[in-house]
């Protein structure tokens, strides 16, 4: 691909030169060698120059002289920042805990008691700072968060993302169903829940340092079982009034899917559509049991799906039909589902997405004949998973991130193969760019993430030497 400069309203303040890999489209890896990328004051990529561009040498000389060039070493490369579409921020302290339980028991015995503790803002401050900085160190430049039903702690999560520089979508959880939510952790009633959600949207949009809307509010009915029809109707109206994002769990497990069918006589997707909660700005977590009709509804509304392969392996009794969704042109990204999933790494999510797709395709019950075991043509490969974790997730959120293109925000990771603690240096002789990226996705650790940028700002830096001198 050849690139040349386009002009920007605001001056270019930083230039980066070296190897960039990204996947704007799912079907091919795009590799930019010895390329110069210029980022303006607003964090927007204002110029991409390949070595064959007319003004490449002249620009290189100029930016070397004026000190704005950061030159990668031959052992460094950049990829776009990673987007995690489904994180329960308050569940960070229970990472890896009690995953042997069925979802309902896990929620009742572990999750709800933990989430109720976020009335304590000191506790919330500690946990949220730890979570957001860990995700940034893992290269997650955008996260979509469920918070708790506490307005103050939800605002604190949004402020923490702003302070630490993470692009985020933050939702106050709404849950008012007396039969499904414990007395100690429930909205008083639908009206109170809707009012609190509305205030939370205003508070996040109005945060002092949020003028560029780096952090956006999200209408967040936990899932249909925990919400009354009155609440779901009110939140649908709120979505239409505020044009806010919406997130919820959709057709996650046998229990949850059947519960909604029995209560409402229709699928989660159909119900969400009828409540006004399925829009272009909706992200449906899991969606394992969605039918072809549900997929058509999601496609028509333009909604997106957060595929959470690790969490699904524990709680969902199923594998999300990813290939089927992609064939129907649904927008899909990946989510860790912390703490239903026990890893904070989106590279791990990529690995899990590939692994479960292989199991779905081949099937697992060896008592059945090979040809009857699985669901044919379901697999994805690591490149497709990488696309989902970068450009795919960004597309679901309509964020201008996820690839290196003029006009997009510079959300990026600098990977260094030379970190003394790493597991990557033995791969320096990979035979192809695809092989190298495969090694990175399967082996890179936070110590390999030399620097992480969101909107042009460096928000995390590793322990190595950083860039070579220009």
Chain positions contacting Fe ion, by CB under 5 A? 337
252 binds, among Fe ion, ligand GUN, none (CB under 5 to 8 A by kind): ligand GUN
115 binds, among Fe ion, ligand GUN, none (CB under 5 to 8 A by kind): none
Distance between CA atoms of residues 425 and 418, nearest Å: 6
Nearest to 320 by CA among 248, 380, 393: 380
The strand pairing partners of 32, in sequence order, are 20
Residue 307 touches ligand GUN, criterion: CB under 6 A: no
The residue to which tokens 């060698």 are assigned: 33
Distance between CA atoms of residues 24 and 7, nearest Å: 22
145 binds, among Fe ion, ligand GUN, none (CB under 5 to 8 A by kind): none
Please report the sign of the dihedral spanned by the C-alpha atoms of residue 247, residue 248, residue 251, residue 254: positive
Distance between CA atoms of residues 305 and 139, nearest Å: 21
362 burial class (0-12, 13-18, 19+ CB within 10 angstroms)?
A: middle
Nearest to 83 by CA among 387, 427, 466, 317: 387
Residue 323 touches ligand GUN, criterion: CB under 6 A: no
Nearest to 350 by CA among 435, 264, 440, 413: 440
Distance between CA atoms of residues 16 and 14, nearest Å: 7
Pairs from 156-160 (Cβ < 8 Å, separation ≥ 24): 156/121, 156/124, 156/125, 156/128, 157/89, 157/124, 157/128, 157/132, 158/203, 158/204, 158/207, 158/210, 158/215, 158/217, 159/207, 160/125, 160/128, 160/129, 160/132
Options 47, 76, 288, 311; binder of ligand GUN; rule CB under 6 A: 311
User: Total number of residues binding ligand GUN (CB under 6 A)?
Assistant: 12
Kindly identify the residues of this chain, within the stretch 228-257, that bind ligand GUN according to CB under 6 A: 249, 252
Least distance (Å) from ligand GUN to the CB of residue 368? 29
Least distance (Å) from Fe ion to the CB of residue 441? 23
Stretch of 103-111, 370-378, 396-404, 430-438 contacting ligand GUN, by CB under 6 A: 103-111
315 binds, among Fe ion, ligand GUN, none (CB under 5 to 8 A by kind): ligand GUN
Considering beta carbons, is residue 106 or 386 the nearer one to Fe ion?
106
Options 60, 107, 278, 298; binder of ligand GUN; rule CB under 6 A: 107
107 binds, among ligand GUN, Fe ion, none (CB under 5 to 8 A by kind): ligand GUN
Least distance (Å) from ligand GUN to the CB of residue 315? 5
Kindly identify the residues of this chain, within the stretch 171-190, that bind ligand GUN according to CB under 6 A: none
Kindly identify the residues of this chain, within the stretch 197-226, that bind ligand GUN according to CB under 6 A: 222-223
111 binds, among Fe ion, ligand GUN, none (CB under 5 to 8 A by kind): ligand GUN
**Interface mask toward ligand GUN for 324-353; x: CB under 6 A:** -------------x--x-------------
415 binds, among Fe ion, ligand GUN, none (CB under 5 to 8 A by kind): none
Least distance (Å) from Fe ion to the CB of residue 146? 7
Distance between CA atoms of residues 45 and 32, nearest Å: 15
Residue 92 touches ligand GUN, criterion: CB under 6 A: no
Q: CA-CA distances (angstroms) from residue 7 to 48, 258, 400?
A: 11, 55, 18
The answer to whether the beta carbons of residues 389 and 350 sit under 8 Å apart is: yes
Contacts to ligand GUN by CB under 6 A: 88, 103, 107, 111, 222-223, 249, 252, 311, 315, 337, 340
């Amino acid at each position: 691909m050849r690139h040349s400069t386009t002009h920007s309203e605001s001056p270019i303040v930083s230039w980066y030169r070296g190897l960039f890999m990204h996947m704007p489209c799912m079907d091919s890896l795009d590799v930019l060698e010895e390329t110069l990328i210029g980022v303006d004051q607003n964090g927007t990529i204002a110029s991409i120059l390949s070595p064959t561009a007319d003004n490449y040498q002249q620009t290189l000389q100029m930016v070397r002289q004026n000190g704005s060039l950061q030159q990668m070493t031959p052992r460094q490369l950049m990829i776009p920042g990673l987007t995690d579409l489904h994180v329960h921020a308050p569940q960070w302290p229970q990472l890896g805990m009690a995953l042997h339980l069925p979802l309902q028991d896990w929620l009742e015995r572990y999750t709800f008691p933990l989430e109720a503790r976020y009335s304590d803002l000191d506790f919330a401050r500690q946990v949220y700072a730890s979570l957001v900085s860990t995700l940034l160190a893992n290269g997650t430049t955008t996260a979509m968060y469920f918070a708790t039903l506490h307005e103050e702690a939800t605002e604190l999560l949004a402020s923490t993302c702003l302070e630490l520089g993470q692009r985020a979508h933050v939702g106050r959880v709404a849950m008012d169903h007396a039969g499904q939510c414990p007395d100690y952790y429930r909205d008083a009633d639908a009206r109170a829940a809707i009012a609190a959600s509305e205030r939370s949207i205003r508070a996040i949009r109005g945060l002092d340092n949020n003028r560029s809307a780096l952090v956006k509010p999200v209408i967040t009915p936990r899932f249909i079982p925990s919400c009354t029809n009155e609440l779901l109707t009110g939140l649908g109206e709120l979505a239409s009034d505020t044009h806010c994002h919406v997130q919820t769990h959709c057709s996650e497990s046998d229990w949850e899917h059947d519960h909604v069918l029995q209560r409402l006589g229709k699928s989660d997707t159909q119900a969400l559509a009828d409540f006004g909660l399925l829009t272009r700005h909706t992200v449906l977590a899991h969606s394992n049991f969605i039918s072809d009709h549900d997929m058509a509804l999601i496609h028509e509304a333009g909604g997106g799906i957060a595929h959470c392969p690790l969490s699904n392996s524990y709680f969902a009794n199923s594998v999300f039909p990813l290939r089927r969704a992609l064939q129907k042109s649904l927008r899909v990204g990946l989510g860790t589902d912390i703490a239903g999933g026990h890893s904070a790494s989106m590279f791990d999510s990529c690995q899990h997405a590939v692994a479960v797709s292989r199991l779905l395709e081949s099937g697992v019950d060896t008592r059945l004949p090979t040809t009857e075991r699985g669901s044919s043509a379901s697999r994805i490969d690591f490149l497709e998973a990488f696309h989902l974790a970068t450009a795919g997730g960004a597309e679901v959120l309509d964020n201008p991130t996820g690839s290196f293109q003029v006009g997009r925000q510079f959300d990026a990771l600098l990977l260094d193969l030379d970190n003394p603690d790493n597991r990557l240096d033995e791969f320096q002789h990979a035979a192809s760019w695809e092989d190298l990226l495969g090694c990175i996705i399967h082996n890179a650790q936070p110590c390999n993430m030399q620097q992480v940028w969101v909107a042009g700002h460096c928000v995390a830096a590793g322990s190595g030497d950083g860039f070579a001198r220009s």
